[in-house]
Structure 1
């Protein structure tokens, strides 16, 4: 945010330099966490290894209910990496003197584009071009000229939804913190910090779960099965 002091902004200047500087800081933090987690692997994990294993297990459990365990593990690298990146970006903005890179649309929009391009690619790869886009037309052929453009717009709107939801919420959180620190700069803002931490976690969860949902819609399309013959009705005495 322009006009708000940050340590990196004081060195690199406001604008794009400040955003790039905070992104580099986020990258360094994530690489440090990854290095600490694998530098001394143990059968019974502790410390950073334990935290990262718990995080990865949580991501798999999150996707298991949406897309199944097998596909959840397949897309774990994408979802877990995005989640860790978004979480660290969100959290560093809570620390006075730093700013969340995710409060900039130029950061959240590329994230949304990566998800959009990837889930469509996976859908086309698994279903085939014709079968994948045939689902855009809906089950009723007579309505396909109407449904197809609606579905196209719906999918494109996901880019706006993902990017602007994250950008808007984190931007609002940063403004809230800025006003809070100006009004009561000492002990009183502590409940506000807890609220902002919860918001950072929530926005990360929403971005990750939506990524799984979009992947599920692309690669787990329902197969068309022939109608089964009606099963015989069993009466109360068990006779057919």
Structure 2
């Protein structure tokens, strides 16, 4: 038990040092003379992990017959985890976007959630800082969501009809409503970015406060105090990824909803 406590304590201490400036990505950047910020390297690591998992899953599925693909593996396997994740995301898409549109936007939503979630969770690993703690990362994700749902809105409604829906239903109120709606739409990526970044930074600071107690020496009491915050941190990582993804789905729904309405009247 004493050895386990020492190992856990050393890991916790490494995470505290990460908050103070030491990161494994920083060491790699220094060793290989990579002139990139550590959060960009960490984002690259997250992308690489997701690509590797995707390729492994695809390789496993390609070896199965069509009949066996519908039969899950026994126990907890990579395939079962990936398919459980896919089922969870599809259920959320179906609830927000409806049965008709869920298959259309499923891939983007699945990519968005898992990218944000893993980027959040990696900050709980000793020696790593979450890329989502930096405004550049969260703003890039917000802009990605913004560009995606606007493109889909233009594609579904037509560019002119999509822009016209910002003017509201009453033509004589358009001169007032249009700039307000445009401004509201333009603020969305920034609000997504600031919400994600603020919550992840706050969660990281709370966790760091307790982890820094370990820098003074091995202290099982401090370690015990930090463990609940690791659990809370994991919950925050999930919630923030979920909120970002749900808001993106709502924006997609709002951008494409008038298409269904017009189509219904056309019939």
- SS of the aligned residue for 1:211 comes to helix
Aligned to 1:22: 42
Aligned to 1:45: 72
Q: Among 214, 231, 239, which residue is 1:202 paired with?
A: 239
Q: Among 87, 93, 99, which residue is 1:57 paired with?
A: 87
Residue 180 (str. 1) matches residue 207 (str. 2) = no
Q: How many Å separate the matches in 2 of 1:159 and 1:15?
A: 28
RMSD value, Cα = 2.1
Q: For the Cα contact (< 8 Å) 1:38–1:49, is it kept in 2? A: no
TM-score by length of 1: 0.87
- SS of the aligned residue for 1:5 comes to coil
Q: How many Å separate the matches in 2 of 1:31 and 1:117?
A: 23
Q: For the Cα contact (< 8 Å) 2:109–2:245, is it kept in 1? A: yes
Q: How many Å separate the matches in 1 of 2:209 and 2:19?
A: 14
Aligned to 2:228: 191
Aligned to 1:211: 248
Residues 1:174 and 1:15: Cα distance change in structure 2 (over 3 Å): farther
Displacement after TM superposition at 1:150 (Å): 0.4
TM-score by length of 2: 0.79
Q: Among 171, 180, 191, which residue is 1:161 paired with?
A: 191
**Structure 2: segments with no counterpart, 5+ residues:** 1-17, 62-67, 215-221
Aligned to 1:223: 261
- SS of the aligned residue for 1:68 comes to helix
Displacement after TM superposition at 1:16 (Å): 4.1
Q: How many Å separate the matches in 2 of 1:182 and 1:4?
A: 13
- Which structure shows the higher helix fraction? 2
Q: How many Å separate the matches in 1 of 2:154 and 2:21?
A: 45
Within a 5 Å distance, the mapping from 1:50-199 to structure 2 comes to 50-183=80-213, 185-199=222-236
Displacement after TM superposition at 1:55 (Å): 0.8
Deviation readout 1:79-106 (Å, 9 max, x if unpaired): 1111111111000101121110111111
Q: For the Cα contact (< 8 Å) 1:94–1:177, is it kept in 2? A: no
Q: How many Å separate the matches in 1 of 2:163 and 2:51?
A: 39
Q: How many Å separate the matches in 2 of 1:218 and 1:55?
A: 26
Residue-pair matches, total: 226
Q: For the Cα contact (< 8 Å) 2:42–2:131, is it kept in 1? A: yes
Displacement after TM superposition at 1:2 (Å): 7.2
